[in-house]
Amino acid sequence: MRIGYSFWGFLGNGITDTPDGGRSHRRPFINALRARGHEIVFLQANRDLLEADDDLGGAYVFDDGLPEIDVLFLEWRWPISGRNTSVCGTEGHTCDLHRQGELLMHYAVQLGMPTVIWDKDRTLRIDSIWRRAPQTAVCEAALAPSPGAHRLLFPVDDQLLAQADPHALATAPRDLDLSYVGNQYDRDHHFDHYFAPAAAHLSHQVGGKWPRTERWPHVHFLGRIPFPQAHELYSRSLATVLMLPERYAVVGQMTQRIFEAVLAGCLPLAPADILRVEQFVPADLIVSSSQEVIERLAFLRRIAGSQQHADLIAACLNHLDLFRLSRQVDALDTVLNTIVAPSTERGAA
166 and 281 part of one domain = yes
pLDDT in tens, 218-233: 999 999 999 999 999 9
Q: What is the pLDDT of residue 84?
A: 84
Rounded Cα–Cα distance for residues 127 and 149 (Å): 12
* AA identity, residue 270: A
Q: CA 341, CA 163: separation in Å to the nearest integer?
A: 37
Using DSSP's 3-state secondary structure scheme, residue 71 falls into: strand
d(CA 31, CA 131): 28
Examine the domain organization and report whether 168 and 19 are in the same domain.
Answer: no
For residue 107, the 8-state DSSP code is I
Say what the pLDDT of residue 344 is: 44
Cβ–Cβ under 8 Å, residues 278 and 268 = no
Q: Are residues 276 and 332 in the same domain?
A: no
Look up the CATH number of the domain holding residue 228: 3.40.50.2000
Residues ≥6 apart with Cβ < 8 Å to 312: 267, 282, 284, 285, 303
Residues 107 and 143 in one domain: yes
Q: Same structural domain for residues 55 and 171?
A: no
d(CA 72, CA 130): 13
In the chain, the amino acid numbered 5 is Y
Q: Within this chain, do residues 150 and 163 fall inside the same structural domain, yes or no?
A: no
Q: Residue 43: which region, alpha, beta or left (left: phi > 0; alpha: psi -120 to 50)?
A: alpha
Q: Print the domain residue range for 312.
A: 158-323
Asked if residue 298 and residue 261 are part of one domain, the reply reads yes
207, containing H or E segment: strand 204-207
Name which of 238, 227, 228 is nearest 266 in CA terms: 238
CATH of the domain at 90: 3.40.50
Same domain, 180 and 291: yes
Angle at CA 249, nearest 5°, toward 223 and 208? 5
Question: What's the order of all strands across the beta sheet hosting 115-118?
Answer: 61-62, 39-42, 2-6, 71-75, 115-118, 136-140, 150-151
Query: How many structural domains compose the chain?
Result: 2
pLDDT for residue 89: 84
Report the first-to-last Cα separation within the chain, whole angstroms: 20
Q: Which regions in the chain score pLDDT beneath 70? A: 341-349
182 plus 316 within the same structural domain: yes
- Give yes or no: residues 302 and 180 share one domain: yes
pLDDT of residue 108: 97
Which pLDDT score, from 0 to 100, does residue 347 have?
40
Residues 177 and 310 in one domain: yes
The DSSP call for residue 155 is P
Q: Kindly report the CA angle at 321 between 118 and 19, in degrees rounded to 5? A: 40
Residues 8 and 107 in one domain: yes
